[in-house]
Amino acid sequence: MNLLSIAIDKPADMNFILGQSHFIKTVEDVYEAIVQTAPAMKFGVAFCEASGPALVRYIGNEQRLIEIARKNASAIGAGHSFIVFLENGFPINILNTIKALPEVCRIFCATANPVEVIVAETEQGRAILGVVDGVSPKGIESDADIAQRKDILRKIGYKL
């Protein structure tokens, strides 16, 4: 077995969701879930099929984001994994809808941070073991940091 670190290749401020599912209809169900939950969102989805022709399946409403999704899904190459790149919204706007899809098994991350996907590769194929999402903590927040965090959440409308 080989362990690989696959860096997600994306613009620095672009959000994405990486997950695992179990069925070919994932691409269409994720598409429908996003457009029904956040109609103004632009996105691209790619899914690594794990049997049969074993293709990278894809869909979306923005060609540039579809290409980013296809490129990253191909680089990861883990069966039944899917990746969604999005604009005009945030993962928090669609995450629960995607998690509620019957074929979705897990979400590895939903972030705009730099991410490395830790992949195990065997003779059979590849599996996602986990992700490195962003950087390690640099310290413990101070009272000023707490006040700043609370202020940011209220300014962007996530807390009253």
Any idea which architecture 2-155 has in CATH? 3-Layer(aba) Sandwich (3.40)
Q: Whose structure tokens read 């632009």?
A: 42
Instruction: List, for residues 99-152, the tens digit of each pLDDT value.
Output: 999 999 999 999 999 999 999 999 999 999 999 999 999 999 999 999 999 999
Q: With left for phi above 0 and alpha for psi between -120 and 50, is residue 103 left, alpha or beta?
A: alpha
What tokens appear for 110 in the block? 């939903």
Q: How confident is the model at residue 7 (pLDDT cuts 50, 70, 90)?
A: very high
Distance CA 144, CA 123 (A): 52
Distance CA 129, CA 66 (A): 24
- Under a CB-based contact definition with an 8 Å cutoff, are residues 10 and 16 in contact? yes
Instruction: List, for residues 29-64, the tens digit of each pLDDT value.
Output: 999 999 999 999 999 999 999 999 999 999 999 999
Instruction: List, for residues 64-82, the tens digit of each pLDDT value.
Output: 999 999 999 999 999 999 9
Question: What DSSP element (H or E) covers 43?
Answer: strand 42-48
In the sheet that holds 15-21, the strands lie side by side as 56-60, 42-48, 81-87, 15-21, 104-111
